[in-house]
Amino acid sequence: MHSPLTWDIDIRRRFEHAGRRFDLQVRFASHARRLILFGPSGAGKSQTLKVIAGLTTPDTGHVRLAGRTLWDHRAGIHMPTPERRLGYVFQDYALFPHLTVAQNVGFGVTRGARNPGRHATPPQVLRWLSAFDLAPLAHHYPEQLSGGQRQRTALARALVTEPHALLLDEPFAALDTVLRARLRHELAEWLDRLAVPMILITHDPADVDHLGDEVLTLSEGRVLPAGGATVATV
């Protein structure tokens, strides 16, 4: 295969906090469109995602997505977060509590000093709202939504900006077991239809079976060799 790697990540970062030290040394290269980072909490999964998004700066290494260099220590490339054009779904969705569903979804459409208006909703926002069955909730506030509706809002908000890649941080952790199974199914269908490459991080083995093309296991800040520690041991 000569097309550029979808994911080409090699990052090192030392965290020191309150006398405790944590070394993140994550390295992987893959053509997989749907990649899963699997591992227990504290393994460095979220930090890896934050480094890819530019929310955490690594000490050395590089971050390349589909041939685009987002960060390269040696070449001195430090693309700021807003220019990376990524979709990020946070664990608790991080919806803006002062904005309606429609304003949340339209947030990334306007880059200036003002939030999207309460009434004039741009066409691409309307499209994503109806695609995710959110149109009837367009004028609701996040605190009025159920867990599943919040997740769909967060996903729509990320996708409306047409991101080059989607980063999903434990998208089901905030939901109860029954809802989790249903939404996992729903998300799997969605991701099948989207051409966007994605990384999903999880500590739930069930996510691994349903959502990924390739699975990487993280432990104590490192990617374990394939076929090393198995899913079942976590």
Partner 1 sequence: MGTAWVPLALTLKVAGWATLLNLVLGVAVGFLLARKQFPGRDVLDALLTLPMVMPPTVLGYYLLVLIGRRGPLGGWLDATFGIQLIFTWQGAVIAATIVAFPLVFKASRAAFESVDPQLEQAACVLGVPEWAVFLRVTLPLAWRGVMAGLLLAFARATGEFGATLMVAGSIPGRTQTLSIAVYEAVQAGQDHVANSLVLITSVTCIAVLLIAGRLAPGRVAGQF
**Which residues make up the interface to partner 1 (CB under 8 A)?**
50, 53, 55, 81-88, 90, 92, 94, 96-98, 107-108, 111-115, 157-158, 161
- Compare residues 112 and 225 and give the one whose CB is closer to partner 1: 112
Q: Which is nearer to partner 1, 75 or 113 (CB)?
A: 113
- For 3, half-sphere exposure in the C-beta direction (CA atoms, 13 angstrom radius) is 8
List the beta strands (DSSP E) in 34-132. Answer: 34-38, 60-65, 68-72, 77-78, 86-89
Q: Which one, 8 or 169, has the nearer CB to partner 1? A: 169
Task: Say if residues 106 and 158 touch (Cβ distance below 8 Å).
Answer: no
Backbone angles phi, psi at 23, to 5 degrees: -105, 120
The least distance separating partner 1 from the CB of residue 198, rounded to whole angstroms, comes to 14
Closest CB to partner 1 among 163 and 212?
Answer: 163
The distance of closest approach from Cβ of residue 217 to partner 1 in the complex, given in angstroms and rounded to an integer, is 26
Task: Give the residue ranges of DSSP H helices in the chain.
Answer: 45-53, 101-105, 123-131, 147-159, 177-193, 205-211
Instruction: Provide, rounded to whole angstroms, the least separation between the CB of residue 156 and partner 1.
Output: 12
**CB 83 to partner 1: min, Å:** 8
